């Protein structure tokens, strides 16, 4: 039994297509089999410009436990946790086999990938908040790489299990490297640091006043940045509003008017919903003087104009930022394809031949019957 195409089903289908047109999976900076410092991006990739050395990116090492041991702490799932001054290691060193906290200092915040030549990162999810569920894991390469997602503050903390002497072998140090980008179009930026192994590194002083942070204490730098962060840029916001109005409101309304505003072919009773008097009155009003077509033409024309304007805004924004790549993501490619298909609709309506008149249709029926 064929299902009747009701207005609710049409609008639901349009909403689904609109959602697919604007959805974007957040891109990984690089493929998951790139695990070493030498395998970080070296050229333009996924819409980002070629990487440059950013000396403002820094690295600090601290103990992850008050006794310098390997025990996990209860607040390690808090990405904005405060690191006690007494736990900080003043030199670029680590203790083999100990549990450490590596802080990547990135003033020009952005998502990042971090690799280590030895040891392993502890999994706390891409947002570093302890949520490592389906498709939210941050650790790759057997612990040698960590990807962050959404968490973008100046200080990003990673719990890192230092290698023991057997894993280090002849090496006496560990190299950490980070590659980051400030947004989907910003150029890659990277830096690296080397930390030396020191088996005699003294742990935090027992009972020191600074050894344990007060309950609920937060990183002041991250807290200040979170307060100052106001959201997306005005260009991105304008792009989003224009696209939402175009594909979420105007174009669906124009499609709805064309589908349900004119009388059914042959003058039949139409959909079952026509039994409602209000619905019949609405269709009668839309059908009078061709109002359905005027609404259809106005809504679709304005919607496509808004969509094209939204495209121009983002194109100009990429040009202004520099270092980005036009149409380098699935979101932008799908968006352009959707706009092209949308513009093809009024072009097809303009160039298609006129519908045959009632007399011509009746004549055709008569010829068919005579031939039979």
Number of domains in the chain: 2
Taking the C-alpha atoms of residue 198 and residue 145, their distance in angstroms, rounded to an integer, is: 23
Nearest to 177 by CA among 153, 142, 144, 132: 144
Q: Are residues 202 and 245 in the same domain?
A: no
User: Is the model more confident about 175 or about 226?
Assistant: 175
Summarize pLDDT for 28-67 with one digit per residue, the tens.
557 788 999 999 988 887 778 889 999 999 999 999 988 8
Question: What local confidence, expressed as pLDDT, does residue 223 receive?
Answer: 62
Domain C-terminal end among 179, 201, 228: 228
**With 0-12 CB in 10 A as exposed, 13-18 as middle and 19+ as buried, what is 87?**
buried
Residue 297 C-beta-side C-alpha neighbours within 13 Å: 8
111 phi/psi in degrees, rounded to 5: -70, 160
Summarize pLDDT for 67-102 with one digit per residue, the tens.
888 999 888 998 888 888 888 999 999 999 999 999
Confidence category of residue 21, pLDDT binned at 50, 70, 90:
very low
Nearest to 217 by CA among 87, 93, 92: 87
Percentage of the residues of the chain whose pLDDT score is greater than 70:
73
pLDDT of 112 strictly over 50:
yes
Q: Which residues pair with 176 in a beta bridge?
A: 116, 193
HEC string for 27-80: CCCCCCCCCCHHHCCCCCECCECCCEECCCCEEEEEECCCCCCCCCCCCCCCCC
pLDDT of 15 strictly over 60:
no
Domain of 216, in residue numbers:
31-228
Q: Are residues 118 and 16 in the same domain?
A: no
Domain presence at residue 140: yes
Taking the C-alpha atoms of residue 264 and residue 18, their distance in angstroms, rounded to an integer, is: 27
Question: What local confidence, expressed as pLDDT, does residue 371 receive?
Answer: 55
Looking at residue 210, what DSSP letter applies?
Answer: T
Structure-token match 């496509």, residue found: 304
Q: Are residues 257 and 186 in the same domain?
A: no
Mean pLDDT, all residues of the chain: 79
Residue 315 Cα to chain centre, angstroms: 18
Provide the whole-model pTM.
Answer: 0.58
Summarize pLDDT for 185-241 with one digit per residue, the tens.
778 999 999 999 999 999 887 755 444 555 556 766 666 655 444 455 677 788 989
Question: What local confidence, expressed as pLDDT, does residue 228 receive?
Answer: 45
Question: What local confidence, expressed as pLDDT, does residue 82 receive?
Answer: 86
SS3 content of the chain, % helix, strand, coil (to 5): 40, 15, 40
Domain presence at residue 26: no
Question: What local confidence, expressed as pLDDT, does residue 325 receive?
Answer: 62
Question: What local confidence, expressed as pLDDT, does residue 211 receive?
Answer: 47
Domain presence at residue 299: yes
Q: Are residues 332 and 345 in the same domain?
A: yes
Confidence category of residue 301, pLDDT binned at 50, 70, 90:
very high
Domain presence at residue 96: yes
């Amino acid at each position: 039994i064929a299902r009747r195409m009701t207005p609710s089903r049409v609008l639901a289908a349009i909403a689904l297509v609109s959602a697919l047109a604007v959805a974007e999976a957040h891109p990984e900076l690089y493929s998951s089999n790139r695990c070493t410092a030498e395998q970080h991006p070296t050229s333009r990739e996924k819409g980002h410009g070629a990487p440059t050395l950013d000396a403002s990116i820094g690295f600090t090492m601290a103990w992850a436990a008050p006794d310098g041991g390997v025990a996990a702490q209860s607040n390690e799932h808090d990405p904005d946790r405060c690191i006690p001054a007494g736990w900080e290691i003043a030199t670029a060193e680590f203790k083999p086999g100990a549990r450490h906290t590596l802080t990547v200092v990135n003033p020009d915040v952005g998502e990042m990938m971090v690799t280590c030549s030895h040891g392993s990162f502890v999994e706390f999810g891409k947002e570093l908040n302890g949520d490592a569920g389906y498709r939210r894991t941050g650790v790759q390469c057997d612990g040698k790489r960590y990807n962050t997602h959404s968490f973008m503050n100046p200080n990003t903390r990673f719990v890192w299990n230092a290698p023991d002497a057997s894993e280090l072998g002849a090496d006496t140090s560990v190299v950490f490297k980070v590659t980051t980008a400030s947004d989907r179009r910003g150029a890659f930026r990277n830096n690296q640091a080397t930390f030396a192994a020191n088996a005699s590194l003294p742990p935090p002083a027992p009972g020191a006043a600074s050894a344990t942070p007060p309950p609920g204490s937060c990183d002041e730098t991250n807290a200040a940045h979170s307060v100052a962060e106001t959201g997306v840029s005005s260009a991105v916001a304008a792009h989003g509003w224009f696209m939402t109005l175009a594909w979420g409101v105007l174009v669906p309304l124009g499609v709805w008017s064309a589908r349900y505003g004119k009388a059914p072919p042959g003058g039949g009773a139409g959909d079952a919903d026509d039994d409602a008097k209000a619905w019949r009155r609405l269709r009668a009003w839309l059908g009078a003087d061709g109002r359905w077509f005027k609404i259809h033409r106005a809504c679709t024309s304005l919607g496509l104009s808004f969509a094209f304007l939204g495209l121009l805004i983002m194109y100009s924004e990429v040009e202004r930022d520099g270092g980005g790549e036009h149409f380098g993501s699935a979101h932008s490619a799908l968006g352009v394809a959707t706009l092209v298909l949308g513009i093809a609709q009024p072009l097809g309506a303009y160039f298609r031949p006129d519908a045959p008149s009632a007399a011509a249709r009746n004549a055709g029926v008569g010829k068919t019957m005579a031939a039979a």
